[in-house]
């Protein structure tokens, strides 16, 4: 419930701080006194958008702060989901800066407007003539029926099942589209894969092949150079090996004289051993080097294949070609396994569809069962409100379309008088009838669900006398289960409130301001008397006011 409202620098209000302590609060005031300003301020803390024109003083910021007791509303999940500190008395604050920017806070945590709107939905319901027109909306009609049917848990289950079904649908659609795309590419991908597979590529083979190609292409030149090198190294009389051996023998003779000469001997000896080894290796290579045109042709063919594949796939290495081969292989394997995957997804989707269908059927049955209960309750209240011949008919049609609240569509038919045919409510009910029907609906809902604080903005328009008294009684009864505010011009309704607030406009210097204050008992008698007879209050009007107040 709304406990405190603080307004600063908003429209005609310079500063307002007021506490609300009654279950049924009345707000009265002359036309233009500022009742709409009060509703605008409450709308802002419910998440309505702000604009710079709301500032009374354009140089100062506007602050609107409302304190709500939320301990009975089971809202901890909202606070946890949005990472906001929970308080049994929650404070919503809106600030409009002179720059035009707007800020919002819940329990001093900065929040975005969507979060304020979501919380405001649970806390306050401003019922205006515009909202009365919502009664013609099919979704709102379904919400009324679901409240009476007690479908809250079923609706939660259905929403989860519907989300899972749509997720499975999307997954199946994605796989089907992939299959369609891959089917068109499959032959080409298989051709490319086979082409790469037939090449029998190996990591590092390109460098080996290119080296072997270079050797086989120059075999005569290599043999000639190697023969010359072997001859110079191993010639018996003047070969490099023979000459080094003579140097070695000469140094061996003096190696014992000093450490220096011994070092020379060891170094030359190492050279002799290394050159011997090189000469032997050269001889072996020379013997193994033969002119092999067939081997060279095979190498050339393999390299040309590699170069062609690299050009085709726009890469530079065999390793990159092997990666592409792996990718094509995975695509081909994936495409071949899609039929099985699609079958599994199809079965999964059908399971989830069946679950949603079952819950939708339960919702339908409970709605059908709730219709006579709802019709009886609304009709009984409308009898009190001067509509004794009103009749309702709910047509609930179960189709194949999945809506957010099931598979039902609804038509609310209404007849106000005996002998008249049923017609769609939005087409046959007058404005005054719609207001009374909405009040009846709200009264019924108050007994079935935890409605937020509700503000009726002149719902009594177009009624008077005994009907007004009955409307006051109904709102009074609603206030046993919830906090009710009634903005009214009718004394019969004003007298029903637990508390009475007056909106008034006055001049302060060069400016006009609005104020809202709680009336004392004597002030309340005076206010109701003025509502009965005008500014010139007679004693009989005062007596009548006292009688209305009991």
Does the pLDDT of residue 299 top 70, yes or no?
yes
**CATH code, 1-127+453-519:** 3.40.50.300
Break the chain into its structural domains and give their ranges. 1-127+453-519, 178-337
Residues linked to residue 8 through DSSP beta bridges, in sequence order: 15, 63
Measure the CA–CA gap between 416 and 536, rounded to whole angstroms: 40
Measure the CA–CA gap between 298 and 154, rounded to whole angstroms: 75
* Whole-number average pLDDT of the chain: 86
Measure the CA–CA gap between 541 and 537, rounded to whole angstroms: 6
Tens digits of per-residue pLDDT, 304-345?
888 888 888 888 888 888 888 788 777 766 666 677 888 889
The pLDDT score that the predictor gives to residue 129 is: 66
Cα dihedral value 441, 68, 513, 484, nearest 10: 30
| Mean pLDDT of all residues in 181-200 | 71
Measure the CA–CA gap between 123 and 20, rounded to whole angstroms: 15
Tens digits of per-residue pLDDT, 381-392?
999 988 999 999
- Least confidently predicted of 8-12, 161-165, 210-214: 210-214
Q: How confident is the model at residue 464 (pLDDT cuts 50, 70, 90)?
A: confident
Does the pLDDT of residue 265 top 80, yes or no?
yes
Task: Say which residue, 189 or 494, is predicted with more confidence.
Answer: 494
| Residue 539 C-alpha from the chain's centroid | 63
Task: Give every CB contact of residue 392 below 8 A, 6+ residues apart in sequence.
Answer: 375, 378, 379, 412, 413, 414
Does the pLDDT of residue 130 top 70, yes or no?
no
| Mean pLDDT of all residues in 407-422 | 89
Tens digits of per-residue pLDDT, 341-362?
888 899 999 999 999 999 999 9
The pLDDT score that the predictor gives to residue 62 is: 92
Task: Give every CB contact of residue 508 below 8 A, 6+ residues apart in sequence.
Answer: 14
Measure the CA–CA gap between 282 and 292, rounded to whole angstroms: 19
């Amino acid at each position: 419930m709304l406990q405190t409202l603080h307004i600063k620098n908003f429209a005609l209000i310079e500063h307002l701080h007021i506490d609300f302590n009654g279950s049924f609060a009345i707000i009265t005031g002359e036309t233009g006194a500022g009742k709409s300003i009060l509703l605008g301020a409450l709308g802002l803390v419910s998440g309505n958008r702000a604009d710079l024109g709301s500032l009374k003083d354009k140089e100062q910021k506007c602050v609107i702060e409302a304190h709500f007791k939320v301990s009975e509303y089971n809202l901890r999940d909202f606070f946890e989901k949005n990472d906001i500190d929970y308080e049994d008395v929650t404070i919503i604050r809106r600030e409009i800066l002179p720059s035009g920017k707007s800020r919002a806070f819940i329990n001093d945590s900065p929040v975005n407007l969507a979060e304020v709107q979501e919380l405001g939905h649970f806390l306050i319901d401003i019922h205006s003539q515009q909202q009365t027109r919502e009664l013609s909306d099919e979704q709102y009609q379904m919400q009324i029926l679901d409240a009476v049917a007690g479908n809250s848990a079923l609706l939660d289950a259905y929403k989860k099942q519907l989300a899972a079904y749509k997720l499975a649908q999307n997954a199946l659609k994605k796989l089907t589209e992939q299959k369609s795309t891959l089917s068109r590419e499959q032959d080409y991908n298989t051709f490319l894969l086979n082409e790469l597979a037939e090449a029998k590529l190996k990591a590092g083979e390109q460098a080996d092949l290119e080296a072997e190609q270079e050797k086989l292409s120059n075999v005569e030149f290599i043999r000639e150079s190697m023969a010359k090198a072997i001859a110079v190294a191993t010639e018996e009389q003047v070969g490099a090996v023979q000459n080094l051996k003579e140097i070695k023998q000469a140094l061996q003779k003096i190696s014992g004289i000093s450490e220096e000469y011994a070092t020379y001997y060891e170094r030359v000896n190492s050279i002799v051993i290394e050159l011997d080894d090189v000469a032997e290796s050269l001889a072996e290579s020379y013997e193994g080097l033969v002119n092999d045109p067939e081997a060279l042709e095979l190498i050339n063919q393999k390299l040309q294949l590699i170069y062609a594949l690299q050009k085709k796939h726009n890469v530079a290495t065999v390793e990159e070609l092997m990666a592409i081969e792996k990718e094509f292989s995975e695509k081909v394997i994936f495409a071949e396994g899609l039929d099985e995957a699609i079958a599994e997804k199809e079965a999964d989707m059908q399971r989830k569809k069946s679950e949603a269908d079952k819950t939708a059927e339960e919702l339908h049955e409970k709605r059908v069962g709730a219709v006579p209960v709802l019709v009886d309750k609304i009709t009984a209240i409308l009898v009190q409100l001067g509509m004794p011949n009103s009749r309702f008919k709910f047509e609930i049609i179960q189709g194949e379309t999945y809506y957010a609240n099931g598979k039902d569509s609804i038509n609310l038919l209404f007849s106000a008088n005996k002998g008249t045919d049923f017609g769609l409510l939005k087409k046959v009910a007058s404005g005054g009838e719609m207001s009374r029907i909405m009040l009846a609906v709200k009264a019924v809902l108050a007994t079935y669900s935890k409605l937020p604080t509700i503000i009726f903005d002149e719902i009594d328009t177009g009624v008077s006398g005994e009907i007004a008294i009955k409307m006051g009684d109904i709102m009074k009864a609603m206030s046993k289960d919830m906090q009710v505010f009634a903005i009214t011009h009718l004394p019969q309704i004003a007298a029903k409130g637990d508390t009475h607030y007056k909106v008034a406009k006055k001049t302060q210097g060069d400016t006009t301001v609005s104020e809202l204050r709680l009336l004392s008992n004597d002030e309340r008698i005076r206010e109701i008397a003025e509502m009965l007879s005008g500014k010139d209050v007679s004693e009989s009007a005062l007596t009548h006011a006292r009688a209305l107040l009991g």
